[in-house]
Structures are given as structure tokens and as C-alpha cells.
Amino acid sequence: MIILAIETSCDDTCVAVIKASGKKNPRFEILSNIVSSQVEIHKKWGGIYPALAKREHQKNLPIILKKVLKKTKIDLVAVTIGPGLEPCLWVGVNFAKSLSRKLNVPIIPVNHVEGHILVNFQFSIFNFQKLFPAVCLVVSGGHTQLILMKNFGSYQILGETRDDAAGECFDKVARILGLGYPGGPAIAAQARKLQTTNYKLQTKLPRPMLNQKNYDFSFSGLKTAVLYNYKKHSKEEMAKETQQAIIDVLLKKTIKAAKDYRAKTIILGGGVAANSELRKQFKLKIKNLKLKINFLVPSKQFCTDNAVMTGIAGYYNYLQGKTKKPAKIKAEANLRIS
């Protein structure tokens, strides 16, 4: 079947068309994948300005959809209903509803966080029996959650951030250091400048909640520590230490959860999972600890927001019979995975 997927939960207007087939072992082929980024617009504000993002989505969606619909016959519409910025979500949801009515095809609501997880199943190379339970770390600009995945559609949040998300911390620190938006790639680029040298860092930032026995996170103190210290050190140094502090906490808590729950797989997702150091250090840690565990992380383009993830999650939800009537679908800014 051909799925048209729409994702407008934050500042990217994303539309994808994917061909999905199979029940036990779903297969996906990406027919088109459009991410219309609003980065240049939001750069001026140093962050996302919801009213502006909504207006951009309203401007972008009809243009993108017109292009896509010309070429393809659609069988199912999938749309992100939450969590995310409410005005932005509504743009996608309303478009999906009217499309579903116009094309006379069913509609399937998708949880953005589940999308970040399930985009890992783009390629069906797995023996599903050996996959679960899995521990998923979803780290983005809006979310930092550790989730126990017992099966497709069966999730339990083990822990989450009590304040800022990991990506938000990257973004705020980048702003303090004058590195622009989005902060993650900018911080990573600064940190890389010190990689090849044997430079010994002169500063040590806190690793909030590192040794607490829960699976929660807190990143606002890290940003404050940068604010107090950044004038004494170079940008490269602050960037590298911020990145490492975030990685240390994410890595330790995820490994702890994986051990505690005897996970067979660790799954990463979300924009921060595009961070090369984070990916490298996860792989290394799993290898060094000799954990017999699968490690899944999407290719970088599918870590940050996209609609392929919405389409894939939509298909899994469709297989579980979660299709809804357009009238029943609404945006839910605070939607939680369960």
C-alpha cells in the first residue's frame, strides 16, 4: 500500500510517500521524502517561534502536497498528532483530515516519539523474537525519554527529563556561546576542533543526576553552569565538555536501564541521535562491556524530524487496526507514548 505521511510537530514541514507491504515482516520503500526546513527563519530568533512555524507550515504544505499527489495514488494518510507544538500540529492534522475525506482513504494518527523509534525498522533485517524487550532512548529538541519497548505498540516510559530536553540543552548552550541555531550540529563542530589534539580540558561541567538510581534526566543545570563559566574558557572547550557531559548521562542511564530490564536491543532516535560522538561512544561502550545486545540507530537524516518515520509508524499502527475516522482525530500537544 502507498502511505502519504505528514509531520508538522515542530519547525520542519515534512511529507513522505512510502510503499509498505508485509504483515509479519513489513517492508518499506521510500518513494519521496521532503523536509522543508525552517532553520533559516528561526535562526533570527535563536529558537523556534511557534506562530511563525505554524504560518510556514500553512504556506509549505499545499505546495509540497500538490507536487507529491500529482505522481501517486494514495491508500492511507498518516499524520503526527503529538507531542509537539499545538498550532503546528493542527496544520498537519487538518490537512490530513481534508485529504483523507477528499481521497476517500483511511487516516492513521501517529505519535511523534513512536515515529522516532520505529524509523529504525525501515529495513526488515531482524528476527523480531530476538529484539524485545528493547530500551529506547529518544533524544530531541523536545524530548528526552527512556522507554521500555515490549513489542510494537507496547511501551512504558522508564524515565524522562525533569526540565530541558537534551537537544534543548545543546541549543541553549550554543546560543550562550554565540554558535547559532540549531545548536547540536554547531556544538559538535566546535567540539571536533579539539578532537585531534591532545588538549587537556581546563573545565569540568556537572553531569546532572548521573548517579541517581532512577532513569530521569535534568539538563537545565548544565546550561546554567555553562552560563557561569563560558567567559573563562574557549568556545571549543565549552562545546566539547557540554557535549561530553550530555553523552555521559545519556549513556550511563541507558546502559543501566538495558541491564536492569535485560534488554535485547538498545534503540536510539531523535535529532540528538545524529550526534557522531554519541553514536560512537554508545557502540564502543556496548562492545567494551561485552553486552550481547543489538544496537539500532537511524542514519543521520532519519534522526532529525522527517515524515518517513511517520509513515513507518503509521503502517505499524495500521497493522494493529488503529485506523480512525477523520472526525475523531485531533492534535494532542502533550500526547504520551504508552
Residues forming contacts to ligand KG4 in the complex (CB under 6 A) are 10, 140-142, 167-168, 170-171, 182-185, 188, 270-272, 274-275, 304-305
Which residues make Cβ contacts (< 8 Å) with residue 53, sequence separation at least 6?
Answer: 10, 11, 38, 42, 85, 87, 88
Q: Where are the beta strands (DSSP E) in 167-285?
A: 265-269
Shortest gap between Cβ of 240 and Zn ion (angstroms)?
A: 25
Q: What are phi and psi of 330, to 5 degrees?
A: -140, 155
SS3 14: strand
* Closest CA relative to residue 103, chosen from 78, 75, 72: 75
Task: Extract the C-alpha cell encoding 80.
Answer: 503526527
Question: Is there a cis peptide before residue 182, judged by omega within 30 degrees of 0?
Answer: yes
Q: How far is the CB of 195 from ligand KG4 (least distance, A)?
A: 14
> CB of residue 188 vs ligand KG4: minimum separation in angstroms?
5
Question: Which stretch, 136-144, 184-192, 201-209, 221-229, contacts Zn ion (CB under 5 A)?
Answer: 136-144
Interaction of residue 305 with Zn ion, rule CB under 5 A: yes
> Residue 272 CB, nearest distance to ligand KG4 (Å)?
4
State which residue, 159 or 270, has the beta carbon closest to ligand KG4.
270
Minimum distance from residue 93 beta carbon to ligand KG4 (Å): 17
Of 171 and 237, which CB lies nearer to ligand KG4 in the complex structure? 171
- 200-237 exposure pattern, b = at least 16 Cβ within 10 A, e = fewer: eeebebebbbeeeeebbbbbebbbebbeebbeebbbbb
Instruction: For Zn ion, give the closer residue by CB, 115 or 159.
Output: 115
In the bound state with ligand KG4, the residue whose beta carbon lies nearer, of 192 and 256, is: 192
Q: How far is the CB of 143 from ligand KG4 (least distance, A)?
A: 6
Name the residue nearer to ligand KG4 (CB basis): 285 or 300. Answer: 300
SS3 103: helix
Whether the CB-CB separation of 15 and 2 falls below 8 Å is answered with no
Task: Check residue 12 for interaction with Zn ion (CB under 5 A).
Answer: no
Q: Which residues contact residue 120 at a Cβ distance below 8 angstroms, ignoring those fewer than 6 apart?
A: 267, 268, 269, 296, 297, 298
Task: Tell me which of Zn ion, ligand KG4, none is bound by residue 275, counting a contact when its beta carbon lies within the kind-specific cut-off of 5 to 8 angstroms.
Answer: ligand KG4
Is 120 a binding residue for Zn ion by CB under 5 A? The answer is no
Q: Give the CB-nearest residue to Zn ion.
A: 140
Comparing CB distances to ligand KG4, the nearer of 188 and 267 is 188
How many CA within 13 A on the CB side of residue 55? 7
Nine-digit cell at 209? 543526576
Q: Which is nearer to ligand KG4, 7 or 237 (CB)?
A: 7
Choosing from 120, 122, 140, 275, the residue that interacts with Zn ion (CB under 5 A) is: 140
Report what 16 binds from Zn ion, ligand KG4, none; CB cut-off 5-8 Å by kind: none
User: How far is residue 188's CA from residue 186's CA, in Å, rounded to a whole number?
Assistant: 5
Q: Which residues form the interface with Zn ion (CB under 5 A)?
A: 140, 305
